[in-house]
Structure 1
Amino acid sequence: MATLQDRRAVLLDIDGTTLLGTGALPGARALVDDLRERSVPLVWLTNNTSRSRDAWCARLADAGFDPRPDELYTAGDATIDFLKGKDPRPSVWLVGPPGLADDFTSAGLVIDDAHPDVVVLAYDTTLTYDRIARTAHLLQAGLPYIATHPDPTCPDPDGPLPDVGSFIAMFDVACGRRPTVIGKPEPAMIHQVLARLGVAPGDALMIGDRLATDIRMANSAGVPSCLVLTGATSAEDVGHAPAADRPDQVLASLRDLLFRERGPPRPL
């Protein structure tokens, strides 16, 4: 079993693992402090594309963290990298919030509402029926179709909220189309980050709350994994998971990870 003490990098999910709503989950700040004290690289990996990179950094800062820009890699970033690798670079009909559109244009991509080359479906918390209808018509016309991630719901203190996976299901019913998925659980997302860090998959640790995204991605990439039960997954879910989605270890929270290795964590 991988331990924190022998890891050369830690990859940490946000919603349901580090944060729930706007607040830090138990042990999250203490874990980040521990990694910083030991100079272990940390990267937050999130599928949540409902906000810009700057907004994500601000949200983490408001919860008591001090993230650097290079410590965050989102499914939006992975989608941008994917599209920038295309030749010629396509113009985009983006189903996503304004902050994500800003990230796309800042990266040199063109948002084209009139004559796009590709449809990109993200976690759009500003989605209107007019944009749903326009997206359906573009999909029915046969445009290439990409989704930033497949999560069906996003954890929220008042209960799960519809996420991109729910949107995917809606367009599947209406248009008979399924997208190419870029973010977790695709292993390319984790390989991109580890290559940048210069860390081998077996020397990292992925910590998340979702079996079908966080843990499946880690297993596909050969990265040891830890599931925490503070988000989308219950202990009963773990018992019914297929082999591809089974974590190397299961803990109630990040607090328990530190408790197991170093004794009770510092007060939050």
Structure 2
Amino acid sequence: MKKYKAYLIDLDGTMYRGSEPIPEAVRFVNQLHDKGIPHLYMTNNSTSAPKTVAERLAGMGVKCVADQVMTTSLATARYLHEQAPSARVYVVGEQGLQEALEDYGFRLTETNPDAVVMGLDRSITYDKLSKATVAVRNGAMFISTNEDAAVPTEQGFHPGNGALTSVVTTAAQQNPVFIGKPQPIMVDMAMQALGLSKDEVALIGDNYDTDILAGVRAGIDTIHVNTGVTSREAAAGKEIPPAYQVETLAEWADYL
């Protein structure tokens, strides 16, 4: 086992399941806090602002502030600012994404945008998809927060942003730049924020196809925790398995 100077930590399935916190994970991250070990939370959810996510974690007993939370909305706004800081943007998404773009100074518009940005939108309409399609076909940059095909809810799996994005991808015949996990863009941004080298940081997550694969693609070590989507056996059987596997984060506490 290896000691790391900082951690990138997934949320759903790692810190909590739905509305229920995972006690071992809460104790683990509070130990990180108490020991002064830097850590950032990373989520593909684009609907909530970092402050909202931090407040949710705090309500579960986690010592957390908004600056420790990186959402795909925040990462998307930062990415677009690096690529085209003066872009006029058409947004398909909810408040978290809209606020992140506005905070970076983007002008949101439905007319002749320079970029189309898509995130999960639970009020999606044919009109929104049509406007996005027309803009992309007319040459607008096409960016999507994440490619999750489905999202878990209390009623079962609902369409995720990846499913909504695929409509525009098919109609416009153009693939977007995906920002969230398993793509490495958001991980790279988190690494920049930490200011550490790749061998000093580990990514912790439950889902191999998003969390662990993002770490693999970004070139950092990964710790798979068996509290969510991907089973221990399935993760171990992947072509590139996680660097480490634990049943719960209580097992990693001795290596802090």
TM-score (norm 2): 0.89
Q: Percent identity?
A: 29
Tell me the equivalent position of 1:162: 159
Instruction: Look up the match of 2:86.
Output: 89
Length, aligned pairs only = 255
User: What is the distance in 2 between the residues matched to 1:235 and 1:162?
Assistant: 26
Counterpart Cα distance in 2 of 1:88 and 1:208: 32
Of the three residues 191, 196, 210, the one matched with 1:194 is: 191
2:60 alignment partner in structure 1: 63
Counterparts of 1:171 and 1:37 in 2: how far apart (Å)?
46
**Counterpart in 1 of 2:245?**
250
**Contact persistence 2:91–2:116 (CA under 8 A):** yes
Runs of 4+ more than 4 Å apart: none
Map Cα deviations across residues 215-239 of structure 1 (whole Å, 9 max, x no partner). 1221222311011232322345325
1:88-119 deviations in Å (ceiling 9; x for gaps): 52111111102321221122111112221111
Q: Are residues 1:23 and 2:20 paired?
A: yes
> 1:41-95 CA deviation, whole Å, 9 max, x = no partner?
1100111102122222222222222321221111111111111113452111111
The range that moved more, 142-151 or 248-257, is: 248-257
Q: Residue 106 and residue 60 in structure 1: after superposition, are their counterparts in 2 closer, same or farther (change >3 A)?
A: same
Partner of 1:122: 119
Q: Which amino acid aligns with 2:92?
A: V
Are 2:204 and 1:207 equivalent residues in the alignment?
yes
The equivalent residue for 1:265 is none
5+ long unaligned stretches in structure 1: 263-268
Select which of 123, 148, 151 maps to 1:151.
148
Give the TM-score normalised by structure 1. Answer: 0.85
SS at match of 1:155: strand
**SS of residue matched to 2:62:** coil
What 5-or-longer segments of structure 2 have no aligned partner?
none
* Structure with the larger strand share: 2
Report Cα offsets for 1:167-213 as digits up to 9, x if no partner: 23333333332211122223332232222222211111110122222
Q: Aligned Cα RMSD in Å?
A: 2.2
Distance 1:237 1:129 in 2: 38
Which one of the candidate residues 208, 215, 220 is aligned to 2:217? 220
